[in-house]
A = this chain, B = another copy of it.
Amino acid sequence: VLDKTYTIRATSNIAFIKYWGRRNHELNLPYNSSISMTLDENLSATTSVEFSNSFKEDMLIIDGKRQDLNFQRSEKASYLRRALEHARKTAGLNAHALVVSENNFPSGTGLASSAAGAAALSLAIVKALDLKIDTREISKIARQVSGSGCRSLHGGIVKWHRGTHHDGSDSFAEQLFDTSYWPELIDLVAIVTTSSKKVSSSEGHTLTPRTSRLYDLRPKIAEAEAKKAETAIRNRDFNLLAEIVMRDSNNLHAVCLDSWPPIIYLNDVSRAIIYAIHELNENYGKNVAAYTFDAGANAHIITTQKHRAAVEGTLSSINGIKRVLYSKQGNGPRLLSEGKSLINDEVIRHTGIYKY
């Protein structure tokens, strides 16, 4: 399988119950389980990987920019190094890898591009080295590249179990429901800003548990809410699910604000969206939409096909929303044909990765 390129397209996911705070930094182990919906290919990352004995070093290129793998403070770099080492050890190989990745949505905006990228990368490495490991094992690789990345390994509704073991062996993602269980569920992403956030989620995962006094309650709350969310989805009870989703988002941003120094992702446009969704739901006399915010000001509005137009109408009345992306539930990552690879002779020549 050396000198052959493998390309995976994986998609982003939006958490209904969010991951915030890691109990183990090295292994990326969370304080609480999380539940997410995998999005469709409107929000995806495509990653090509090739291993070769002719390569003089590992190289990672994201959206055309070469990443410095020796930069100690880069988490991307250190996670990739670890994933490659893990994979090479398992395969019994020493070949270096060229990894080329492209996102089709703006990164650093709280749209979880890293999740899609991590899932695509992990699967591409596993494919490229033809590793005989099961999905749980791949899940653990993806988790170490980017926590929420393990959730993007599956389609539909996915749960990332926090696990209790110190070595992370029981912290993995699995599908709860495939896309056919509740296909009406959709996500409308209101893009509020495309600029990078002040505090990365990676920093937040460490800062908040360490400094927020309110955080002490967050893991217990989120764990209980994850169970409730699972039941709400099983019963296709949108009214209940929506409340759980909105409250979990608020809970997360509350512990962010309580961190020291404070982390504030929501802005005036986010707030206008929050109020507008509450008003929309009040008008219906039940919840027909739910807002949820990751580490950024952009809003994900979870709703059903039936109320898509009503939500779009509501969003169109809010100043400051740049555009609204639409996503159904996605089926999870897939292998693209060789012709779709981001790696070709031209690219390889351009990188200067060859030994001679």
Contacts and interface: CB of A to CB of B under 8 A. Distances in A.
Interface of A: 198, 212-214, 216-218, 221, 243, 247, 250-251, 253-255, 257-258, 260-262, 264, 266-268, 271, 274-275, 278
Nearest to A216: B217
Contacts of A243: 260
A221 B217 contact: no
Q: Which one of A254, A261, A264 has the highest number of Cβ atoms from chain B below 10 Å of its Cβ?
A: A254
Contact of A262 (B216, B250, B255, B264): B250
Contact of A247 (B253, B260, B271, B274): B260
Contacts of A198: 275
Given A213-B217, A216-B217, A257 B254 contact: yes
A343 to B, nearest CB: 42
Contacts of A247: 258, 260
Given A214-B217, A214-B254, A267-B271, 18 more contacts: A198-B275, A212-B254, A213-B217, A213-B221, A214-B214, A214-B218, A214-B258, A217-B217, A243-B260, A250-B257, A250-B258, A250-B260, A254-B254, A254-B258, A261-B278, A264-B266, A264-B271, A264-B274
